[in-house]
Amino acid sequence: MDQSDKDTVVRIDALQKWYGAFHVLKDISLTVPRGARIVICGPSGSGKSSLIRCVNGLEAYQQGTIDLEGVRLGENAAQTTLARRKTGMVFQSFNLFPHLTVLANCTLALRRVSGMARGEADELASQYLEKVRIPEQAHKYPGQLSGGQQQRVAIARALCMNPRLMLFDEPTSALDPEMIKEVLDVITGLAKDGMTMLCVTHEMGFAREVADEVVFMDHGSIVEKAPPDQFFSQPCHPRAREFLNTLLH
Amino acid sequence: MTTLDIWLGILQGCRVTASVTLYALLFAVPFGLAFGIAQYLTTGLLRFLVTCVIEFWRSSAVIILLFVFYYALPVVGVTLSAMTVAAMVLGLNTGGYASQAVRAGLQTLDHGQKEAGQALGLSRTAILVLIELPQALLVMSPTFINLLIQLIKATSLVSLITLTDMTFRAKEISQVHYEPVPIYLSLLLAYFVLCYPITLFGRWVAQRVTPGREVRRGV
């Protein structure tokens, strides 16, 4: 492994994916350096979610390769599991476990995957709940929390596994407007701590503030990749311009 | 013959009714769980075979199975006790229905639950045992209680393979003292007394499970 590999968290190379006859991802190549904060945007159906779901093996792909810190995804089940443990994922619909308390949601993988003792796991989880600013909700069930609180628990749950890369799949799309900020604030805090992240979002203000690169996708391809200042002020591609215009109006 | 005599007579069969029910559950619960989960997880030929076994037990008439296993198997050299046959046939028939409840419960769970488990690096078994089954079984608990009630009522069929359950006792008494109306009315009541508390319990469970689902989804 040379120096450039050590600084790379994810390397996606010539990725191709089909749903039956539908070509969802067309020759995607993307390198995510350590500490990078990449925002993926684009119209619905452009393949953004499929792309980040490929990165932790939730979706299969047909051609190309994905390497997570040198571990190749999809070669066999053990490799995929190993790679998965390097990533944390936050879903649009939270996907908290409704039958477990907030604390148990956070400690489940610590205890069952990392084999941590209960006391230690509880302590670690409490630290992360503190970080997402809801330590007082630890013993409630997800159904008793607001959407914004649930999504912050989901972030804490993912952080507990000490991921090298955080994947966010439209983390605020299912939230009421007044709750979006509390979740974005937490993600912004993570970015400031140096967490590497890939984030699919329509929150362009957030992208402008947090991202160091914006990737614009359309019809399964990456059509533009630029720093946010450049992307928002003078997008090169006509389809990117069109997309930004629809967001403004 | 007084009503009390009739009741005491029927009550003598209560132990057999209860035993058949409990032994049948020893077949029904593992079968329902194992085959429901198997049908949920398998695909292709394996799933077809699993489905065949479930459908055999689910779609056969209980009374005919009782006769076949009790009266016909000894002809080919397999002799099972009446209690074994009763528990197995009733249990696996109920288990066949239960397996469908288990499978449906697992299938109706939000797909995101499994994905969240995968994203955390949990194994497939851990996802099933720690995430999917607890939720599916809770949602399906009213169905399981209904199946239990049906099982208790179905045990009356074991009187046809010589077991002295409540129904068998009622027939005996009615043959000695020819008073079918009070005797069978009492028998009817006896099953009602056994099953109705379970119905009430089921209703209580259903109320706890159903609104809870909405709360849990944050609606």
DSSP one-letter string for B178-197: --HHHHHHHHHHHHHHHHHH
A105 touches chain B (CB under 8 A): no
The per-residue pLDDT for A1 is: 47
Distance CA B65, CA B80 (A): 13
Q: Tell me the average pLDDT of chain A.
A: 92
Q: Is residue A120 part of a domain?
A: yes
The per-residue pLDDT for A4 is: 58
Rg of chain A over CA atoms, in angstroms? 18
What mean pLDDT comes out for the span B196-217?
75
Q: Which residues of B touch A146 (CB under 8 A)?
A: 218
φ and ψ at residue B71, rounded to 5 degrees: -100, -30
Q: Is residue A158 part of a domain?
A: yes
The per-residue pLDDT for A73 is: 87
The helix or strand, by DSSP H or E, that contains position B219, with its residue range, turns out to be none
What mean pLDDT comes out for the span A100-123?
95
B212 touches chain A (CB under 8 A): yes
Q: Is residue A195 part of a domain?
A: no
Quickly list DSSP for B86-138: HHHHHHHHHHHHHHHHHHHHHHTS-HHHHHHHHHTT--HHHIIIIIIHHHHHH
Q: Cβ atoms within 10 A of the Cβ of B71, count?
A: 11
Cross-strand pairs, A26: none
Residue B216: pLDDT over 50: no
Please name the residues in contact with B168: beta carbons below 8 A apart, sequence gap of 6 or more.
B13, B16, B158, B159, B162
What mean pLDDT comes out for the span B3-28?
94
The owner of tokens 């409540």 is B166
The per-residue pLDDT for B208 is: 83
Report the half-sphere exposure of B15 (CA within 13 A, side-chain side).
Answer: 3
B130 touches chain A (CB under 8 A): yes
Quick: pLDDT tens for B23-56. 999 999 999 999 999 999 999 999 999 999 999 9
Q: Is residue A137 part of a domain?
A: yes
Q: For residue A242, what are its two tokens?
A: 């069109």
The owner of tokens 């209904």 is B146
What mean pLDDT comes out for the span B176-197?
93
The owner of tokens 């069969």 is B13
The per-residue pLDDT for B219 is: 34
- Least Cα distance to A70 among A18, A158, A5 occurs for A5
User: Are the beta carbons of A91 and B118 separated by less than 8 Å?
Assistant: no
What mean pLDDT comes out for the span A31-51?
94
- The nearest CA of chain B is from the CA of A12 a distance in Å of 19
Using CA atoms of A94, A98, A101, A104 in order, give the dihedral in degrees to the nearest 10: -70
Residue B91: pLDDT over 80: yes
Q: Which residues of A touch B122 (CB under 8 A)?
A: 108-109, 112-113
Distance CA A229, CA B97 (A): 61
Residue B135: pLDDT over 50: yes
SS (H, E, C) chain A: CCHHHHCEEEEEEEEEEEECCEEEEEEEEEEEECCCEEEEECCCCCCHHHHHHHHCCCCCCCEEEEEECCEECCCCHHHHHHHHCCEEEECCCCCCCCCCCHHHHHHHHHHHCCCCCHHHHHHHHHHHHHHCCCHHHCCCCHHHCCHHHHHHHHHHHHHHCCCCEEEEECCCCCCCHHHHHHHHHHHHHHHHCCCCEEEECCCHHHHHHHCCEEEEEECCEEEEEECHHHHHHCCCCHHHHHHHHHHHC
Q: Given pLDDT bands bounded at 50, 70 and 90, which one contains residue B157?
A: very high
Q: Is residue A157 part of a domain?
A: yes
Report yes or no: A77 and A35 within 8 Å, Cβ to Cβ. no
Interface mutation vs chain A, best among B108, B111, B115, B120, most A CBs within 10 Å? B120
User: Are the beta carbons of A144 and B120 separated by less than 8 Å?
Assistant: no
Q: Is residue A20 part of a domain?
A: no
Give the ipTM of the model, two decimals please: 0.91
Q: Which residue of B has its CA nearest to A92?
A: B112
What mean pLDDT comes out for the span B69-77?
91
Q: Given pLDDT bands bounded at 50, 70 and 90, which one contains residue A81?
A: confident
A87 touches chain B (CB under 8 A): yes
Distance CA A198, CA A54 (A): 12
Q: Which residues of B touch A57 (CB under 8 A)?
A: 118
DSSP secondary structure letter of residue B1: -
What mean pLDDT comes out for the span B154-170?
94
User: Are the beta carbons of A95 and B115 separated by less than 8 Å?
Assistant: yes
Q: For residue B136, what are its two tokens?
A: 């599916």
A147 touches chain B (CB under 8 A): yes
Q: Which residues of B touch A143 (CB under 8 A)?
A: 212, 215-218
User: Are the beta carbons of B217 and A143 separated by less than 8 Å?
Assistant: yes
The per-residue pLDDT for B210 is: 65
Residue A9: pLDDT over 80: yes
The per-residue pLDDT for B218 is: 41
B113 touches chain A (CB under 8 A): yes
3-state DSSP call for residue B2? coil
Q: Which residue of A has its CA nearest to B217?
A: A143
A175 touches chain B (CB under 8 A): no
Structural domain count, chain A:
1
- Least Cα distance to A30 among A166, A237, A223, A191 occurs for A223
- Partner residue opposite B218 with nearest CB, options A56, A97, A143: A143
| Domains and their CATH numbers in chain B | 3-216 (1.10.3720.10)
Residue with the bigger pLDDT between A69 and B35: it is: B35
Q: Is residue A99 part of a domain?
A: yes
- The nearest CA of chain B is from the CA of A230 a distance in Å of 33
What mean pLDDT comes out for the span A129-149?
94
- Least Cα distance to B154 among B7, B25, B54, B31 occurs for B25
Domain of A133, in residue numbers: 93-162
- The nearest CA of chain A is from the CA of B97 a distance in Å of 25
The per-residue pLDDT for A5 is: 66
What mean pLDDT comes out for the span A160-167?
95
Residue B213: pLDDT over 50: no
Q: Is residue A171 part of a domain?
A: no
Quick: pLDDT tens for A188-236. 999 999 999 999 999 999 999 999 999 999 999 999 999 999 999 888 8
Cα angle A128, A133, A136 (rounded to 5 degrees) comes to: 90
b/e A123-137 (16+ beta carbons within 10 angstroms → b)? ebbbebbebbebbeb
- The nearest CA of chain A is from the CA of B109 a distance in Å of 11
Residue B212: pLDDT over 70: no
The per-residue pLDDT for A200 is: 96
What mean pLDDT comes out for the span B94-109?
96
Cross-strand pairs, A165: A87
- The nearest CA of chain A is from the CA of B114 a distance in Å of 9
Residue A82: pLDDT over 90: no
Q: Which residue of B has its CA nearest to A167?
A: B119
